[in-house]
Amino acid sequence: MTFEDLKKSMRENQPDADLELVELAYEYAKEAHEGQTRVSGEPYITHPLATAYKLSQLHLDQTTIIAGLLHDVPEDTERTVEDLAEHFGEEIAFLVEGITKLGTIKYRGIDRFAENLRKMFVAMAEDMRVIFIKFADRIHNLETLDSLPVVKQQRIARESIDIYAAIGERLSMGRLKDQLEDLSFPYAYPKEYEWLKGIVKHTRPGKKKMMQDFMKVVEKVFKESDVNIQELYGRVKRDFSLYKKLIKPKYNNDVDKIHDIVAIRVIVPEIRDCYHVLGLIHQNWKPMPERFKDYIAQPKLNGYQSLHSVVFTNTGQPIEFQIRTQNMHEIAEYGIAAHFHYKEKGSGKPTLSPEAEVWLEQLQRIQEEIKENAQFIETLKLDMFSHRIFVFTPKGDVIDLPDGANSIDFAYHIHTDVGNHCGGSKVNNKLTSLDHKLQSGDVVDIIIDKKRTSPSEDWLDIVQTHTAREKIKAAIRKRQQGIITRLLYRD
Ligand code: MN
């Protein structure tokens, strides 16, 4: 990978980009990282370059690509975010700062905290582009994971699956999610990976052959009909996706129960063409009972849309058809990033399903922005979590609190006893007053005062959370009852 490769990719995918500015950023990054090497021994610049290249391939804009080139400068070199702002403007500096901030989040493999960590990741990113850069960065790190010690490999690989890929899935960025999972799988779960490889070795070649033979028949049937087909191709189920399915109780590790190891994808222009093609398929090949799913009428939570139907081929083997429009396909592969595809190809705007709201309630608002404003990405802020903050315990676990919360709220959130015995607080290793407003990313360490037996009444005026207030009231009531009891039974 050289800078020439990036330029070539950008000429294709970002034809309007200012390549001179991109080259300036490349030279700046190269100089800043001068003398640094990757663990593999390669010059450090190969990493930001590969990151930028991936962003170009995703059809993202020039600003994002430049931020990709510069993404490790403040963290690993003498040059600061302010220097970047001076040279390349506030917007690029803001994106790079976002990536640097995300670098502090670490997943220690505790499931209980994974969901909060995912939310925190998105909240701290602030801008969708920061997530894209971070994903491209991580994918390149996974591609070069071989050079790291095994313990580190496993931590990074599991974090990539549990945090990064899970976010990718919710944001409907299938292409990135797939890469993150497949690159991580052998490092995250080596034994399971070997087991799956054994299964795949025995099943995949035969299934592929069956699919190729059947495709010829399908092509002929489609040609002789009046259906409108844009693209027809076979897809093979990916390793990690197959693994996740196999271990579900429903399949009980039995590969014969899985009917989408290979599938035929049909891309059509309009929704009505989807149903038209489906009708034609069912006329020619018997569908397997209860193996038809209409994700167009009922999209998946992340907005995924397609028609899926398992049918019996002419030789009696089951195979799945997946029918969708080009628009649905782009959304499934790229999620919000698909917007750029459409902009480049000039074929309209993507629509993100409101079903995605379950996790990102305000995705719909973003959709409105997409519709209203072609330049939406420049102002796109992930403020859906702006009313929440995410802070760490000293062990690095993430606690999710409402904006404005302080150390007392934090203490009660951990445990009632921690709250009742709260004697003080250290935020980021500094002694801090209890009413100090916490910020996302703060590390909060509650100082336990064993002599304190119940909370101070003043705390009721300070706390921001309902939980903390109720727990304080309960503790005070208990104390008062104790006093009354003692008064009543004194003689
Ligand atoms: Mn990096």
What is the set of active-site residues? 75-76
Q: Ligand 1 centroid vs 56 CA: distance in angstroms?
A: 16
* Residue 53, pLDDT score: 97
The pTM (predicted TM-score) of the whole model is 0.71
**pLDDT band at residue 336 using 50, 70 and 90 as cut-offs:** low
* Residue 353, pLDDT score: 39
Q: Ligand 1 centroid vs 439 CA: distance in angstroms?
A: 25
Q: Ligand 1 centroid vs 137 CA: distance in angstroms?
A: 5
Q: Ligand 1 centroid vs 320 CA: distance in angstroms?
A: 39
What integer is the mean pLDDT of 421-435?
Answer: 93
Is it the case that residue 343 has pLDDT exceeding 70? no
* Residue 387, pLDDT score: 67
What integer is the mean pLDDT of 329-334?
Answer: 84
Is it the case that residue 470 has pLDDT exceeding 80? yes
**pLDDT band at residue 139 using 50, 70 and 90 as cut-offs:** very high
* Residue 490, pLDDT score: 64
Give the pLDDT confidence of 294-314 residue by residue, as tens digits: 999 888 767 789 999 999 998
What integer is the mean pLDDT of 423-447?
Answer: 91
* Residue 168, pLDDT score: 86
Residue, of 140 and 486, whose pLDDT is higher: 140
Q: 3-state SS of the chain?
A: CCHHHHHHHHHHHCCCCCHHHHHHHHHHHHHHCCCCECCCCCECCHHHHHHHHHHHHCCCCHHHHHHHHHCCHHHHCCCCHHHHHHHHCHHHHHHHHHHHHHCCCCCCCCHHHHHHHHHHHHHHHCCHHHHHHHHHHHHHHHHCHHHCCHHHHHHHHHHHHHHHHHHHHHCCCHHHHHHHHHHHHHHHCHHHHHHHHHHHHHHHHHHHHHHHHHHHHHHHHHHCCCCCCCEEEEEECCHHHHHHHHCCCCCCCCHHHCCCCEEEEEEECCHHHHHHHHHHHHHHCCEEEEEEEECCCCCCCCCCCCEEEEEECCCCCEEEEEEEEHHHHHHHHHHHHHHHHHHHHCCCCCCCCHHHHHCCCCHHHHHHHHHHCCCHHHHCCCHHHCCEEEEECCCCCEEEEECCCCHHHHHHHHCHHHHHCEEEEEECCEEECCCCCCCCCCEEEEEECCCCCCCCCCHHHHCCCHHHHHHHHHHHHHHHHHHHHHHHCCC
Is it the case that residue 278 has pLDDT exceeding 90? yes
Least confident range from 26-35, 157-166, 337-346: namely 337-346
* Residue 338, pLDDT score: 63
What integer is the mean pLDDT of 246-259?
Answer: 91
Residue, of 69 and 118, whose pLDDT is higher: 69
Q: Ligand 1 centroid vs 268 CA: distance in angstroms?
A: 38
Average pLDDT, the chain: 85
Residues with CB under 5 A from ligand 1 (ion): 72, 137
Q: Ligand 1 centroid vs 148 CA: distance in angstroms?
A: 14
What integer is the mean pLDDT of 240-262?
Answer: 92
**pLDDT band at residue 366 using 50, 70 and 90 as cut-offs:** very low
What integer is the mean pLDDT of 96-101?
Answer: 89
